[in-house]
Structure 1
Amino acid sequence: MSNPALRNNQDKHRYELIDDDQVLGYAEYNMMGDAVMFTHTEIASEHEGKGYGSQLAQKALDDVRSQHKQVMPVCQFITAYIRRHPDYIDLVTPDSRRAFKI
């Protein structure tokens, strides 16, 4: 598995996981004040099962943390990732934790 880079494509409102200028997958978001609301995550079918979804989630959440913002995990993949990696729970407000059962 390669180590692709993260690109915040603000024009398309999505984080992209890229390798040699090829988009391997993306996590769409909307800005909600001081929170990033993740709405959908998708990995290109030819790259599924290679761990790129987890890399994308980790890198995107790390970027949100570096901006001192909160996360609203509407996307089921991002919600599941945070459940499996409790070190990201602090990014989710208590109300959102209850709403998304984190």
Structure 2
Amino acid sequence: MNGTTLKDNTGAQRYELIADGQMVGFAQYRPSGDAVTITHTEIAPEHGGKGYGSALAKQALDLIRDERKRVIPACGFIAQYIGKHQEYADLVAQS
């Protein structure tokens, strides 16, 4: 989604989606070696239905790929996003 940026807030262990200067959503994560477990994704209610969830998922997964890490999609939303966007299936850590 144009007009959004992703901030990796390592102190809070979450990826934050910024639009028009404000955080509209986040994906909580836990780093573990070469993998990142995404545990929860949330978009502020007033920003729901605008595509921000998909933008957050895409940008977080792109960042994980750029960092040459794997993802463990413990969050149902992220798991569904990967299921619908098979170009990210290779990022899923094998158990």
Which moves more between the two structures, 1-10 or 77-86? 1-10
Equivalent AA in structure 1 for residue 53 of structure 2? G
Equivalent AA in structure 2 for residue 28 of structure 1? Q
In structure 2, runs of 5+ residues without a counterpart are none
Residue in 2 aligned with 1:42?
42
Rounded to whole Å, the distance in 1 between the matches of 2:63 and 2:25 is 16
Rounded to whole Å, the distance in 2 between the matches of 1:14 and 1:94 is 22
Equivalent AA in structure 2 for residue 80 of structure 1? Q
TM-score (norm: length of structure 1): 0.89
1:58-69 aligned at under 5 Å gives the runs: 58-69=58-69
Residue in 2 aligned with 1:89?
89
- How many residues in Structure 1 have an aligned counterpart in Structure 2? 95
TM-fit CA distance, 1:49: 0.3
Q: Deviations over 1:28-85 (max 9, x none)?
A: 0000111000000000000000000000000000000000000000000000000000
Residue in 2 aligned with 1:13?
13
Of structures 1 and 2, the larger Rg is shown by 1
In structure 1, runs of 5+ residues without a counterpart are 96-102
Extract structure 1 runs of 4+ deviating beyond 4 A: none
TM-fit CA distance, 1:21: 2.6
Residue in 2 aligned with 1:100?
none
Rounded to whole Å, the distance in 1 between the matches of 2:92 and 2:47 is 29
1:71 aligns with 2:66: no
Q: Secondary structure, in 3 states, of the residue corresponding to 1:94?
A: coil
Equivalent AA in structure 2 for residue 84 of structure 1? K
TM-score (norm: length of structure 2): 0.95
TM-fit CA distance, 1:2: 5.1
